């Protein structure tokens, strides 16, 4: 199976070379790597071009956009820009961040998972962050969730879920839609990806209500949103974020913002979420 990687990048000069080096050091190389330089003002483009000159399967796409980093929308718009230059001759498509170090066997193992079951739609490892000289699990999500920093999709699954949504919550709705269409989501705890910039490090003040808006856009409804908001705020060790998330939900609801899913899919998502919560409790 051949795979391609699309890497959105904005001012990643500190990490870009490390990420690309870990890609070119893979035991199974990608058929293509597209790095989308999204209005960087540092040396990101220069670093990318150094790799482009050495490796024919790496290419650069430049994109101009607002520099404001609203979670979800900016990165996926950059991903979509890279997707425009992709031909249809791939088996697996990967969205990766530009602040990662993959273990050398990462994509070889990912391919093995896809090959072992043709109903596997998504595969990923786990993110680790450095703390006091040790690499520890970045424990922001459940163990059955693939982090948005590194998502690998079977082509057929990627197309059936409609690709990636340019909004916060994209990396949750993709998995929920996978399950809606009866695809399996596989996580592999042996694949430890070094996440060099902790999640949310570059989010600005305008993003503080976005998580609650994302819960609304997934069709959660308020009871599930309240539970999910409290859980996430406690995981981030910032309990007051719960209030921002809940405000974000109600702001989106009062504004009647469109959902990222159909009503049928929203109903499935609510039932799935309640089922998962009951399983954890009982």
- pLDDT single digits (tens) 171-182: 999 999 999 999
Query: On the CB side of 58, how many CA atoms lie within 13 Å of its CA?
Result: 21
**Percent of the chain topping pLDDT 70:** 94
Whole-number mean pLDDT of the chain?
92
CA dihedral 214, 266, 189, 26 (to 10 degrees): -70
Residues 132, 246, single domain; the answer is: no
Q: What is the pLDDT of residue 142?
A: 76
| Placement of tokens 């424990």 in the chain | 139
Task: Give per-residue burial for 113-137: e unless 16+ CB within 10 Å, then b.
Answer: bbeeeeebbbbbbbbbbeeeeeeee
- pLDDT single digits (tens) 260-282: 999 999 999 999 999 998 988 77
Q: How confident is the model at residue 247 (pLDDT cuts 50, 70, 90)?
A: very high
Stretch 147-175: mean pLDDT: 95
Domain boundary among 144, 162, 195: 195
Q: What is the pLDDT of residue 71?
A: 64
Helix (H) or strand (E) holding 106: helix 106-116
Any residues with CB less than 8 A from the CB of 147 and at least 6 apart, and which?
124, 126, 127, 138, 140, 141, 171, 195
Residues 186, 239, single domain; the answer is: no
In degrees rounded to 5, what are phi and psi of residue 9? -145, 130
Q: How far, in Å, CA of 233 to CA of 236, rounded? A: 5
Residues 226, 268, single domain; the answer is: yes
Q: How confident is the model at residue 208 (pLDDT cuts 50, 70, 90)?
A: confident
Residues 181, 45, single domain; the answer is: yes
Pick 211 or 116 by higher pLDDT. 116
Three-state DSSP at 161 gives coil
Strands 150-154 and 120-131, by their bridges, are antiparallel
For residue 199, pLDDT beyond 90: no
Q: How confident is the model at residue 125 (pLDDT cuts 50, 70, 90)?
A: very high
Q: How confident is the model at residue 232 (pLDDT cuts 50, 70, 90)?
A: confident
Query: On the CB side of 48, how many CA atoms lie within 13 Å of its CA?
Result: 25
Cβ atoms of residues 157 and 178 within 8 Å: yes
Q: What is the pLDDT of residue 198?
A: 76
Residues 54, 190, single domain; the answer is: yes
Q: How far, in Å, CA of 83 to CA of 3, rounded? A: 13
Residues 34, 115, single domain; the answer is: yes
Domain that holds residue 223: 208-281
Whole-number Cα distances in Å, 47 to 56, 58, 224, 227: 15, 12, 44, 43
Stretch 128-149: mean pLDDT: 89
- pLDDT single digits (tens) 19-71: 999 999 999 999 999 999 999 999 999 999 999 999 999 999 999 976 555 66
Residues 20, 122, single domain; the answer is: yes
In degrees rounded to 5, what are phi and psi of residue 59? -135, 155
Q: What is the pLDDT of residue 200?
A: 56
Q: How far, in Å, CA of 79 to CA of 95, rounded? A: 7
Task: Please tell me the pTM assigned to this model.
Answer: 0.90
Q: Give a yes or no: residue 187 inside a domain.
A: yes
Residues 214, 158, single domain; the answer is: no
Count of residues for the chain?
A: 282
Q: Give a yes or no: residue 32 inside a domain.
A: yes
Residues 161, 129, single domain; the answer is: yes
CA 211 to chain centre: 14
Stretch 118-144: mean pLDDT: 91
Q: What is the pLDDT of residue 139?
A: 77
Q: What is the pLDDT of residue 69?
A: 56
Residues 139, 228, single domain; the answer is: no
């Amino acid at each position: 199976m051949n795979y391609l990687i699309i890497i959105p990048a904005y001012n990643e000069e500190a990490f870009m070379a490390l990420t690309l080096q870990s890609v070119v050091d893979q035991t199974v190389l990608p058929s293509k790597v597209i790095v989308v330089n999204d209005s960087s003002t540092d040396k990101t483009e220069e670093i990318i071009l150094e790799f482009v000159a050495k490796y024919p399967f790496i290419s650069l796409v430049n994109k101009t956009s607002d520099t404001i980093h609203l979670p979800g929308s900016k990165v996926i718009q950059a991903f979509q820009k890279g997707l425009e230059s992709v031909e249809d001759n791939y088996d697996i498509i990967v969205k990766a961040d530009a602040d990662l170090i993959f273990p050398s066997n990462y994509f070889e193992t990912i391919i093995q998972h896809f090959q072992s079951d043709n109903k596997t739609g998504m595969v990923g490892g786990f993110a680790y962050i450095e703390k006091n000289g040790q690499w520890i699990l970045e424990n922001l999500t459940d163990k059955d969730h693939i982090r948005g920093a590194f998502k690998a999709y079977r082509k057929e699954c990627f197309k059936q879920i409609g690709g990636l949504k340019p909004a916060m919550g994209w990396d949750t709705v993709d998995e929920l839609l996978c399950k809606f269409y009866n695809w399996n989501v596989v996580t592999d705890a042996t694949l430890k990806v070094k996440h060099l910039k902790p999640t949310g490090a570059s989010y600005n003040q305008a993003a503080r209500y976005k998580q609650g808006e994302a819960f609304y856009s997934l069709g959660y409804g308020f009871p599930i949103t309240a539970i999910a908001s409290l859980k996430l705020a406690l995981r981030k060790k910032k309990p007051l974020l719960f209030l921002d998330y809940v405000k974000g939900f109600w702001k989106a609801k009062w504004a009647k913002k469109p959902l990222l899913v159909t009503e049928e899919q929203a109903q499935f998502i609510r039932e799935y979420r309640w089922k998962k919560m009951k399983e954890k409790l009982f």
